[in-house]
Amino acid sequence: MIFYFSGVGNSRWVAQQLSQQLGDQLRFIPDEISTPMSYELRDGECLGFVFPCYGWGVPVFVERFIEQMQVSGGVKYLYFVTTCGDDTGMTAEIFCADAVRKGWECKAGWAVVMPESYICLPGFDVDNKEKENEKIMSARDRVNRIIDDITDRRCGFDTIPGPMKWAKSHIVRPFFNRFLITPKHFKTTVACTSCGACVRACPYSNISILSAQRPVWGDVCVQCMRCYHTCPQHAIEWGRFTRGKGQYLFPQHLFPKKQ
C-alpha cells in the first residue's frame, strides 16, 4: 500500500510508477483524512510513503497523517520516496524517527531530484526548461532502480543530504514550518478572472470564490503551491517574492498513465 502527497505532480508521478509496477494500491493522503484512516496490509505487503521534501524534512501534514493512521497486519517492509528540487537535508532521519514513534522500523528511503516548485523566497524559482527536462529524464531511470530495490526488499537510505544538513533540518526547518507555511500571504493580481482553476486544483479544498469575487484562501493550506502553478493567468502571488517567477506542473502527458 502506497500513501502519497503531491502538489505539482512530481511525487504523484513517482507514486503512480511504483503502484503500477509493484501492483500496490495507491492512496492520496488528502482523500484519506475524512475516512477512519485504518488500513490492513496483506501478508508480505509493504508500506510506502511518497511525498515532496518540504523545508528539508517530511511535510508536517504527512507526519500528522502517519501519527494518526492505524495499520494492522504487521509492517514488515516500510520505505519512503521523497522528491526534491535540490537536497533533502535530514529527511531520512526525520522519517525514521516518525516511524519509530509508531513502533515501526523504516527499512529504506530514496530521494529523487525533480523540477523545483518552491518560489516563495528570494533566490528560489522554477528550473529553466532544459534543466526541467534533464531532471525528469534522469528521474525516470532513478525510479526504475528504486522499484527494483523495493522488489528485492533492499534496506538502506539513498537520499541527498546536501551541505549543512543539520542546520537546514534542525534550525531552518522549524522556522520554515512556523512562519512560511501559511495561506496568509496569498493574493491575486488584476489578471485574475475568477475562473476557479485554483479552487479545483487545491488538494485540501481550501480555496473558495464567493459570488464571483476573487479567490479566498482558508486556513487548511499546506503550501504545496499547486494553486500558484496552476493559474492559467499566472495571477496568484504569495507575498512579494513570487513576482516574476515561473510556473511548473509535472508534464503528465509525457508519461500517460497505463490503463
Distance CA 35, CA 18 (A): 24
Of 75 and 207, the one with the shorter C-beta distance to ligand FMN is 207
Q: Does the protein bind ligand FMN through residue 8 (CB under 6 A)? A: yes
Q: Does the protein bind ligand FMN through residue 53 (CB under 6 A)? A: yes
The CB-of-6 to ligand FMN minimum distance in angstroms stands at: 3
Of 39 and 228, the one with the shorter C-beta distance to ligand FMN is 228
Of 56 and 110, the one with the shorter C-beta distance to ligand FMN is 56
DSSP 38-96: EEEPPTT--EEEEEE--SSS--HHHHHHHHH-EEES---SEEEEEEESS--TTHHHHHH
Q: Does the protein bind ligand FMN through residue 242 (CB under 6 A)? A: no
DSSP 197-222: HHHHH-TT--EE--TT---EE-S---
Distance CA 224, CA 81 (A): 17
**Site string (106-135) toward ligand FMN, x via CB under 6 A:** --------xxxxx-----------------
Strand 47-52 and strand 216-217: pairing? unpaired
The CB-of-224 to ligand FMN minimum distance in angstroms stands at: 5
Among 16, 17, 19, 83, contact with ligand FMN (rule: CB under 6 A): 83
Among 85, 161, 203, 215, contact with ligand FMN (rule: CB under 6 A): 85
Among 24, 45, 63, 87, contact with ligand FMN (rule: CB under 6 A): 87
Q: Does the protein bind ligand FMN through residue 2 (CB under 6 A)? A: no
Contact 86, 126 (CB under 8 A): no
Of 7 and 75, the one with the shorter C-beta distance to ligand FMN is 7
Among 29, 75, 84, 231, contact with ligand FMN (rule: CB under 6 A): 84
CA distances (Å), origin 104, targets 5, 72, 75, 121, 228:
20, 12, 7, 36, 36
| Cα R_g (the chain), whole angstroms | 18
In the chain, the amino acid numbered 26 is L
Burial of residue 249, with CB atoms counted within 10 A of its CB: 0-12 exposed, 13-18 middle, 19 or more buried:
middle
The CB-of-250 to ligand FMN minimum distance in angstroms stands at: 6
Of 45 and 118, the one with the shorter C-beta distance to ligand FMN is 118
Among 94, 106, 224, 231, contact with ligand FMN (rule: CB under 6 A): 224
Distance CA 196, CA 212 (A): 9
Binding site for ligand FMN (CB under 6 A): 6-11, 52-56, 83-87, 114-118, 223-225, 250
